[in-house]
Amino acid sequence: MVAVLDVGKTNVKLSAVGADGAVVETISIPNPVLPGPPWRHHDLKSLGEWVFETLAALSRRYDLAALVTAGHGSGGVLTGADPDAGDGAVLPMIDYEQTLPADIRDGYAPLAGSFLDRGSATMHGATHQARQLYWMEEREPDAFGKARWYLGLPQYWAWRLSGVAASETSFLGAQSHLWNVAESRWAPIVRARGWEPLMAPFAKAWQALGPIRTELVQRYGLPGEMRVLTGGHDSSLNHYRYHAAGLRDFTVISTGTWIVGFSRSTPLERLDEHRGMTLNSDVFGNSLGGILTMGGREFSHVAGGDPPAEHASLDVLAHLVAQRTFAVPSFGDDDGLFPGSAGRGRILGSPPETAMGRKVLALLYCALLTVECIETLSEDRLVVLDGSFLRDPLYAGVVAALLPERQVRFNLDTYGVAAGAALLAGHETRDGPAPLTLSEPPDLGVLQRQLFRYAADWRRLSRGELGNRDELRNTKGSLHG
């Protein structure tokens, strides 16, 4: 079996996973964050104690041959040379959602390079690792000068466990602004700022860096023979699970806090940083066209803080479509797929009167965002949906209804990252496709035609092409903000 450490922005999960990617047990805690000084940061010391103690407990219940770490793409740690010196960091790990000081924001902008150097637009807060490094160096030059490595989040935990420092392409290719995926080279800011000595040698995501360090084996009772793998970016590892299952020429859309889409077939010239598009890397170092928008946060804005647990109602969906009630972007502080939309999200038409109505409108809105992601990203005929939105069958049904020329399938396994990470451990020895079960979305029948018209109007509203609301007066209900 394989231990998978999945470090998300909000929660951290440690799982025991079979070699086939099936999760046997998962233990999770909130990802602890502390206030400054010098900035809001993650509590790596307490998290480390939890990781090592929980890993020891899991190893007593299961025969764990390897550990793989997956992590969100907006975190890294500036470390010293000794992984056993406290939490190993010379400066606290920055919480990427906090607001940047104005001088850091303005000073970074001219250093960030071209879109291909960055792999994304420059996003909100302290999102990008290069910008975090710049902030550290500008504010804490003495501590910065004592650093030995700058490690991406999965590689930091691999270093803490094995003592071996590594860089990895799928993580650096996740909007770090440090790595030019298209040209397989460091972004210009790395050389301009003299950061090259901080960058560890590259290793493959599935490569074993070494066994658990002796100090940890003795202190926590960890299994000394456990291999520690390099690990990678969470969404890229989720993409890998489909590759390991033998799929080719497909688009995968994963849903949660973010709606994240990947396709190998997206040409570079199609990428538009102003529409949420990114240039990512798969675990093999190949370019992945990407697209992302904060769908989970948008859902919460529309659905409210406590949506009903029951599945979304098809009758309520039909009613909202018939009365022309629209949720249009964007409710959060990010433009997402629609430039200039940040903070302008609103409900047009007669607002939902019940909690179920708000939930269904939110789900419909996120399905429309998903379709926009897919059509923007690729022409792949096969589209695979996974993640938290699939808990409600209506979501996949709406997406499939609006993409009749595509083969839309969904995966109900909610542990895609853990499965993909665990499958890395067998990458070099697997002799056939990894198991995968995909399902067909429900058929929405006669509602499909009304959905087409509704979706066309939603897109025009979202793009600001229906500035005169009288254009929709021939529909039921009035439009109001």
CA-CA distance, 425 to 282, in Å (whole number)? 16
Consecutive H or E run containing 280? strand 277-281
Query: What's the pLDDT score for residue 307?
Result: 93
Which one-letter amino acid corresponds to residue 286? N
Distances (CA, A) of 37 to 40, 42, 92: 7, 12, 9
Query: What's the pLDDT score for residue 413?
Result: 85
- Structure letter (DSSP) for residue 110: G
Neighbours of 225 (CB within 10 A): 11
Q: 414 or 201: whose pLDDT is higher?
A: 201
Q: Would the pLDDT of 474 be above 70?
A: no
Dihedral (Cα; 46, 48, 52, 54), 10-degree rounding: 50
Angle, alpha carbons 385-386-391 (nearest 5°): 110
pLDDT in tens, 172-199: 999 999 999 999 999 999 999 999 999 9
The rounded mean pLDDT for the chain is 94
Contacts with 248 (C-beta within 8 Å, 6 or more apart), sequence order: none
Query: What's the pLDDT score for residue 16?
Result: 98
3-state SS assignment for residue 290: strand
pLDDT in tens, 60-98: 999 999 999 999 999 999 999 999 999 999 999 999 999
Neighbours of 163 (CB within 10 A): 20
Residues pairing with 149 in the sheet: 79
Consecutive H or E run containing 260? strand 259-263
Question: Tokens at residue 299, please?
Answer: 């859902």
Q: For residues 325 and 366, is the Cβ–Cβ distance under 8 A?
A: no
Q: For residues 58 and 48, is the Cβ–Cβ distance under 8 A?
A: no
Query: What's the pLDDT score for residue 257?
Result: 84
Query: What's the pLDDT score for residue 268?
Result: 94
Q: Where are the beta strands (DSSP E) in 80-194?
A: 149-152, 179-180, 185-186
CA-CA distance, 153 to 307, in Å (whole number)? 33
Q: Tell me the percentage of the chain whose pLDDT exceeds 90.
A: 91
Q: For residues 442 and 393, is the Cβ–Cβ distance under 8 A?
A: yes
Residue 262's pLDDT band, with cuts at 50, 70 and 90, is very high
Which one-letter amino acid corresponds to residue 104? I
Neighbours of 351 (CB within 10 A): 13
Q: Which residues of 332-344 are buried (b: 16+ CB within 10 A; e: fewer)?
A: bebbbbbeebbee
Strands 326-328 and 287-293: unpaired
Q: For residues 249 and 381, is the Cβ–Cβ distance under 8 A?
A: yes
Cis, peptide link before residue 330, omega less than 30° from 0? yes
Dihedral sign of CA atoms 305, 308, 311, 313 in order = negative
CA-CA distance, 475 to 456, in Å (whole number)? 14
Which one-letter amino acid corresponds to residue 352? P
Query: What's the pLDDT score for residue 394?
Result: 95
Q: For residues 111 and 182, is the Cβ–Cβ distance under 8 A?
A: no
pLDDT in tens, 221-248: 999 999 999 999 999 999 999 999 999 9
Contacts with 255 (C-beta within 8 Å, 6 or more apart), sequence order: 295, 296, 366, 370, 385, 386, 387, 388, 389, 390, 395
Task: Decide: residue 433, CB within 10 A, 0-12 exposed, 13-18 middle, 19+ buried.
Answer: exposed
Q: Would the pLDDT of 341 be above 60?
A: yes
Q: Would the pLDDT of 103 be above 80?
A: yes
pLDDT in tens, 118-129: 999 998 889 999
